Amino acid sequence: MSYSVSFYLADIQKLQKILDEKDLSILDEMSFDENEEDDWENRAYLEKLMTGSEPDDEDEPFEYAYSLEQIVAHLFGESVPVPEFEDLRIGKFEGVLSWILKSGSPIKLPPNDDYPYVGHRFLPEIQKMLNDWNDKNFEEYAPKIQTMIKAMFRIFRTAVKQKKDVITFYY
């Protein structure tokens, strides 16, 4: 099975503030096809996420993570294209990669044992990581992992330049 990761440059505090306000008007700015049942279901998950409603017994926890990604994409634009993270065939991330990919959601989501896994890091954490690991030699990792680390560092340097946090979705 192939996996991939989407990286978003975002302002997590802005996202948290919008969700704390529970203002559903943002959903009116998003596009939904009223003739598509999936879009209505999707909007229902978005409303629950934005209002902080507890999941129902029939809810699928992974849908909340996908809803979060929709809000993030709406607020902050499309994900940063990272070809090195497409068609992943590794199930366990090592060291530096798990630092972000397994860091958890920036907002409270229902427990989820399914994809997508959500990760995040705030700008100060990214700056510190870049300072701490800038001179680290990653030769102990396989070449594919080294390539992915270099790609991730490019994203982090871009985040620092743009003064953004990073949110990831791993599917």
Q: Convert the pLDDT of each residue in 86-113 to its tens digit.
A: 766 555 565 667 788 778 999 988 888 7
Counting other chains too, the contacts that 150-159 makes at CB distance below 8 Å and 24 or more residues apart are 150/84, 151/82, 151/83, 151/84, 151/85, 152/7, 152/82, 152/96, 152/97, 152/100, 155/7, 155/9, 155/80, 155/82, 156/126, 156/129, 156/130, 157/130, 158/9, 158/80, 159/9, 159/123, 159/126
pTM of the model: 0.88
The rounded percent of the chain whose pLDDT value lies above 70 is 88
The average pLDDT across 23-29 equals 85
pLDDT at 1: 44
Region 150-156: mean pLDDT is 90
